[in-house]
Structure 1
Amino acid sequence: MSIFLWIPKVLACGLSPLAALSGFLGAALGLVNRDLRSMVLGLFGASVATRYVYKVTGPHHGFERAFGPDWEACIPPQVRQEMLSRRWSLRAFDPPRTPWIQDVHIATDPQDGDRLYADLWIPHEGVTPSGLVVLYLHGSGWHYGGKDMRTRRFFRHLTNQGHVIIDFAYRLAPRVDLYQMIFDVKRAISWMKNNAVNYGVDENKIVLMGGSAGAQLALLAAYTPNDPRFQPLDVQQDTSICGVVSYYGPTDLIELHRYFEAKFRRIPVRRSFLIKVPITRWEKRARRTGFLPPDGRFVTPIEILPNLIGDLPDRATDLYNLFSPINHVGAHCPPTLLLQGLHDFGGMVNQVRSLHEALFNAGVMSILVEFHNTEHGFDLIPPKWSPATQAATYDTERFLALLAYS
């Protein structure tokens, strides 16, 4: 099943440049040794890997369509110098070290007293502030993970261009539901606006960004500013933002659950001793490392949304529709960047395409970048040489610069 091949596929795509080099080397050795089989296999492997790199990192016209043919002129030359010069390079230099502040208290839920925290990434001295802040929401399946999840290199890269990053730890299921998660995001937006002066940012230049479930929350919060259904009573601040970036985020929860049911129904749940024991052991290790919250548990794909929303789509259609970003599209929506792998095991491809079309029809600036043969979570493993990661970073940094300087 595709979910069990996820990590090998992500690794294979990320390491494709090294696979291409190895293939060419094998072919050369085969030629020297007059080994036809080695030469043919080496050339075949190299050609497959090279084709992947070419397809993933090729140019697209999304920025021209959204921002006009002269969009690059809107980015100051000194800012462009700090950006990736091309969509992929084997010489992947590490960005400079950046100061960051861990576990900053952002807000407290007045109902249950839960304290919300974030890590703050601040541009180092000598970097000209852009005035823009990115509120980042990690991928989680709404049940797992937390802040500081394989994103340090990416954040260092963005802060080197003058942006402030808030790596926010929103609360997870089963402790909270989707209402409370989106409330947490609105609290983080409000906190940033109230503290903008302290960090040298413009309160009107907040961008939401997220991966997977975090992207769903980012899109939903971006498309529902000041909507009382998604605004906690303790937030009186305007919660509108200037842009949103989605890395492989679901946009239609009914469609997502249908896909999970069709693809993952055979994944075993803890009904037998042979299944229950390893899952229980994994849960203990995951809690120790912080990947699973103290009250969390392993859930299969078909359990994720019913656990989160409280019922199946047939009996809670209104709630599934309410929490689907695509149902909140309108002319009020901010510019949107959608980054999507075409081999996503979560089945987000058609959802993201539908969202892009809906935004376009509503007159909203939207850029959809699709990555050939690329999996869900492509930017996390391994981030340095991955063609898809570099290409996505190339697009993300230009999108942020346009929002900061246009």
Structure 2
Amino acid sequence: MTVVEHLLVSGIYFFLALMSIIGTASAIVQARRLYWAAPLYFFAAWLTGELALIHLLWQVALTAVLAFSGALDNGLAQLGLGLFALSWMGLVYLQIQAMDTQRILRRALRRGLGIDYRSSLSPERQRVLEDGVRASSWMKPFSMFREGVRVHSHISYADGGKRNLLDIYHPHESREGGYPVLLQVHGGGWMIGEKEQQAKPLMYHLAQRGWLCVAINYRLSPTAAFPAHIVDVKKAIAWVRDNISQYGGNPDFIAITGGSAGGHLSSLAALTPGLAEFQPGFEEADTSIQAAVPFYGVYDLIDRYEIRPEMSMEKMLSDKVMQCTREENPELWESSSPLAHVHEGAPPMFVIHGTHDTLVWVEEARTFVSAMQNASKQAVVYGELPGAQHAFEVFHSVRTDHTVNAVTDFLEWSHARWCDARD
């Protein structure tokens, strides 16, 4: 290796070490009042925190190769090695933190559902539950396909073209009484996103275990103004109720989930069955939901408790999503917030949020859960994950796969309770 090549390799190694320490620090430190820098911080923290062990492995492997080649014998490379060493300690911490997800969520489920909540399931359904996670899964974070699941793609549920299509993740094995249904609503700030992009770890996991999962598109802003988004979600629920039996699904049990904007829409749908203003032209349709699992959702669009005054969404919402100000249409802004619809008849709900969420602050979830627990007669479970960022469960990771297991527990419990009540 020539002197120039040696310096180039050392410089690249130092740069990668610097990027690594920045990413690791971003994942560990909770920083939120970042204004224009918030998206950059989010991406660094998100991709580092969820892929901590993978980052550690490639960085150690790179260091070993360079050490073997003698490229670590100058000052710049050794400074890079020092930065990497600090980063590795942080990555180990992040991996241990993610591994604690199982304990945290199991404790939340026991607190919300009862210590022996699994005993209410039949022996057959208890066998589909899992406690551990497989390295073969989280070491291939973007590999989603699972044996025994087939997908029916691009089925129209309303007249909105591409934005009113859905996909069905269909189990291979039959289930007595038909498959219970999970409806997935993607996020993306009400302005971007596709049905194929989110919640695949959860949907494939459930479909392997006898659930039928439906992922939908819906109209997006600024082309469409709220309440078009929730109207489409309601149309999808009505379509599932009327048509899902053709695919083996049970139209009488529909659970709903979604993250971010999808968390907002899924919780709003769960709390507003039959609300006429969200069901124009199909007011009589049954849009009730039997269980809900919102992830890192926005629950109060008007921020009535001033949780995020310095990082307000109001201008973006006014200009792009609501397309009116709060002063111009206070009733619409109020009705858009799930927090405004909390009531005693709400379905069982499992709210999941990360403490380090940069885009939707955890205090909003805490406020919503407190209101739900005070009002609802059904179970309200809250899983708050230390260190978790926004969108943490989009791909496989240790944290994602433990969360998927916990959500499966909750949905199986909710379905068993529903079956018992019906019988």
Give the TM-score, by structure 1 length.
0.79
Tell me which residue corresponds to 2:387. 373
More helix by share: 2
**CA offset at residue 241 of structure 1?**
1.2
Tell me which residue corresponds to 1:12. 48
Between the aligned partners of 1:38 and 1:261, the Cα distance in structure 2 is 36
The structure-2 alpha-carbon separation of the partners of 1:190 and 1:27, relative to structure 1 and needing over 3 Å to count, comes to same
Question: Size of the alignment, in residue pairs?
Answer: 363
Give me the CA root mean square deviation: 3.4
1:190 aligns with one of 222, 238, 244: 238
Q: CA deviation digits over 1:246-287, x for unaligned, max 9?
A: 0111000012997776237xxxxxxxxxxxxxxxxxxxxxxx
1:142 aligns with one of 190, 196, 200: 190
Q: Residue 137 of structure 1 contacts residue 209 of structure 1 at CA under 8 Å; is this kept in 2?
A: yes
Match of 1:204, SS state, is strand
Q: Does 1:84 align with 2:95?
A: no
**CA offset at residue 37 of structure 1?**
6.3
Q: CA deviation digits over 1:314-337, x for unaligned, max 9?
A: 554332221000110011111111
Tell me which residue corresponds to 1:98. 149
Q: Which amino acid aligns with 1:108?
A: D
**CA offset at residue 26 of structure 1?**
10
Between the aligned partners of 1:331 and 1:393, the Cα distance in structure 2 is 27
**CA offset at residue 191 of structure 1?**
1.1
Q: Which amino acid aligns with 2:409?
A: R
Tell me which residue corresponds to 2:28. none
Structure 1 regions of 5+ residues with no counterpart?
30-34, 265-299
Between the aligned partners of 2:46 and 2:176, the Cα distance in structure 1 is 35
Bigger-Rg structure (1/2): 2
**CA offset at residue 171 of structure 1?**
0.8
Structure 2 regions of 5+ residues with no counterpart?
1-36, 66-77, 139-144, 418-423
Q: Residue 38 of structure 2 contacts residue 358 of structure 2 at CA under 8 Å; is this kept in 1?
A: yes
**CA offset at residue 309 of structure 1?**
1.2
Tell me which residue corresponds to 1:294. none
Q: Residue 99 of structure 2 contacts residue 399 of structure 2 at CA under 8 Å; is this kept in 1?
A: no
Match of 2:227, SS state, is helix
Tell me which residue corresponds to 1:355. 368
Match of 1:195, SS state, is helix
Aligned pairs for 1:295-374 within 5 A = 302-363=315-376, 364-374=378-388
Tell me which residue corresponds to 1:44. 89
Q: Which amino acid aligns with 2:123?
A: P
Match of 1:104, SS state, is strand
Q: Residue 215 of structure 1 contacts residue 246 of structure 1 at CA under 8 Å; is this kept in 2?
A: yes
1:398 aligns with one of 386, 406, 409: 409
1:232 aligns with one of 280, 300, 315: 280
Match of 1:209, SS state, is strand
Between the aligned partners of 1:186 and 1:42, the Cα distance in structure 2 is 46
Q: CA deviation digits over 1:348-397, x for unaligned, max 9?
A: 311111111111111331111111111111112xx22x222112211111
Give the TM-score, by structure 2 length.
0.76
Greater Cα offset, 71-80 or 347-356: 71-80
State percent identity of aligned pairs: 25
